[in-house]
Amino acid sequence: MEDFKRVLGIVFNNYIIKYAILIITVLMLFYTWQHGRYNGNYINSDGKGYYAYLTATFIYHDLEYGFIDQYESKYYAPESYVDFRREIDGEVANITFVGVALFWLPFFLAAHLGSMTFGLPTDGYAPLYQYAIGFAAVFYLMLALWGIKKFLELYRVNKYHVVLVQILILFATPIYFYTTVDASFTHIYTFSSIVLFFYFAKKYMLDRKTKHLYLTAFILGLTILMRPTNMMILAAIPFLAGDWNNLKSTVEDLFRKYKKLIVALVIFLSVLALQPLLYYLQVGQLFVWTYTGLGFNFLDPHMLDVLFSFRKGLFIYTPVLLFALPGFIYLYRKSKYQAFTLLGYCLIVLYIIASWRNWWYGMSFGHRAFLDHYIVFALLLGLALSDVRYKMFRYMIYVVTPFVIWLNMIQVYQYKNWILYWDMDEEMYWRVFLKTDKEYHGLLWREAKIKAQEQEKRVFESRFKNLTLHNTFVDDYEGQLPEINANNIEHSITHSGNTAIRLNLNNAYSPGLKTEVRNLSDTSKVFIRASAFVYVPENPDYNPYHLVFSIENKDGAYVYQSVDSNPKDIKVGEWNSIELLAEARDIKSVNDIVKVYVWYSGKREIIVDDLKVEFY
């Protein structure tokens, strides 16, 4: 028995603890390969803008990004279309910052070389490129975990507690989600770079080695290049110095040995110069603000909301971070200077994040803006675990570890499967708390979308009153229907006449309007009022349908608007009407195709009749 314990101890200490980062990385890679991505793609949402710097430079040689429609139609659904371009003085600029693209560069080049070598598509968006970005996220996670280990070792956190902190930061926070699913958002890369900044800046202040200064300058430049507000990490320098005397002597040493300071500044500014250079190549200006309509409101920060609201509160969606706060007690006993300088840094970060006008930071999981600064919570967790005076903090963390990991994994599952909504409130939160059943998939999203569509319809109604009806298209499905399988033609249940159409898994789209823009009375814009009647034979919750309006060209749909069925308003066993008011102003060509139809996304069956489209 003693020999078994000794062998087990050797394995645990020499292998599991020693190679914890590698083990975690392999597990993350396996999960990412199998279950990550949205619809097969890692490059999504904001990530399309960051990534476009690479494809525009190395593949398409087009900094006006005219290739967007090409890859969107080939690899993405119409509803996930993202246009990251903004016109400035008649020229086109990418509204995103280039920093993340630099993190992706080696992985992109490897995918491009592999595609050319093995005869795979070299358009920049094929599966190999998508997997390259997924792999990049896991790589920078590994780098961040290494940085956490090295940083905590500077504070004498023992190796077992270091591994526990790494596990908690990864599996009990949104870090897991932004590595495996939203891998093209900035956060895993910013998190990694800030971890490394903290480590190398601290190392330089301890040993004054020039290489650590240069690495700090380089990493600082990359971090700010991802998002200019990241310069707030400079506020951590007093804390990283450890005490006032070391901070003072470090500054004096830099100015006394000014040559290495100049080199560090050159490194830092050389990295930052890439963004104005790209702006100049795109629009002929060195400095532009592309986030029009967004910004900060420093007079009205939502500090309590960003921490405790059900909409996106940090401690609501990531409660493990509450257990890091006792680390301040340990730090205060050890060094009041360090406790107050770290608290000051945290308050600066909190104030800046809470002052962003869109303080909930859009469609995302958890409060993603804080994720970049999790190195602070990692340190506080490590210190709380190291506290020998108040061991209850350590035992509390031991006890809650499985529960906070379990909660986070459930919430990741919920968000990925459309159970958690991005704009939650308290009622929504408790309604789906820990729910994983399929009946909850998309429930809150559908309800919110229907509510927004109803509000939009009321706005459209007031505008349509002043428009003139030009022509009307009606399809009552009478006559010949050669494109429809006879099994999907209904004669016994109709809204009018003798014929209706059955929609099901094998026939999801109804016949409808399909005409070129040139056939409309106004070819510069389209205003429509469309309607149809739908018979729902059973539970409407399992029979969702949509009335769709689109305009398409050879690259796919560039206009896509729809209205969803509302289960609350549907009467089972009766005919129900659905109506869509829509407009499109940016018509690309009179040869483009206008379509209006009913789409059934359920798994059973409905019956459709009397599609009507009015053009204004």
| Confidence class for position 7, pLDDT limits 50, 70, 90 | very low
Q: What value does the mean pLDDT take over residues 77-88? A: 85
Whether the predicted pLDDT of 365 surpasses 80? yes
Least confident of 32-41, 451-460, 484-493: 32-41
Percent of all residues in the chain with a pLDDT value above 90, rounded to a whole number = 70
Distance CA 588, CA 552 (A): 9
Residue 4: is its pLDDT beyond 50?
A: no
DSSP secondary structure, 36-101, as one string = -SBTTBS--THHHHHHHHHHIIIII--TT-TTHHHHHHHHS-GGG----EEEETTEEEESS-SHHH
**pLDDT given for residue 509 in this prediction:** 94
- pLDDT at 142 exceeding the cut of 50: yes
| H or E, element range at 374 | helix 374-386
- 17-26 residue pLDDT tens: 666 666 766 6
Residue 420 has a pLDDT of 95
| Average pLDDT value for residue range 78-94 | 87
Q: CB–CB of 524/590 below 8 Å? A: no
Average pLDDT over residues 278-298: 85
Query: How many degrees, rounded to 5, is the angle at CA 583 between CA 582 and CA 587?
Result: 140
pLDDT at 458 (0 to 100): 79
Q: pLDDT band at residue 292, thresholds of 50, 70 and 90?
A: low
Q: What is the pLDDT of residue 26?
A: 66
pLDDT band at 481 (very low <50, low <70, confident <90, very high): confident
Model pTM score: 0.83
pLDDT at 3 over 60: no
Q: What span, in angstroms and rounded, lies between the C-alpha atoms of 357 and 350?
A: 14
User: How many angstroms separate the Cα of 178 from the Cα of each of 134, 168, 170, 250?
Assistant: 10, 15, 10, 36
Amino acid letter, 226: M
pLDDT in tens, 524-578: 888 889 999 999 998 888 789 999 999 998 877 888 999 999 888 899 999 999 9
Average pLDDT (333-353) is 97
Mean pLDDT of 145-163: 95
> What is the widest separation between alpha-carbon atoms in the chain?
93
pLDDT digits (tens, 9 = 90+) for 191-204: 999 999 999 999 99
Q: Residue 2's pLDDT is what?
A: 55
- Least confident range from 244-248, 337-341, 454-458, 590-594: namely 454-458
pLDDT score for 451: 85
Q: What is the pLDDT at residue 34?
A: 55
Count the neighbouring beta carbons within 10 Å of the beta carbon of residue 517: 21
Q: Which CATH superfamily is domain 466-615 in?
A: Galactose-binding domain-like (2.60.120.260)
Q: Delimit the domains of the chain by residue range.
A: 19-416, 466-615
Q: What is the mean pLDDT of the chain?
A: 90
DSSP E strands, 364-414: none
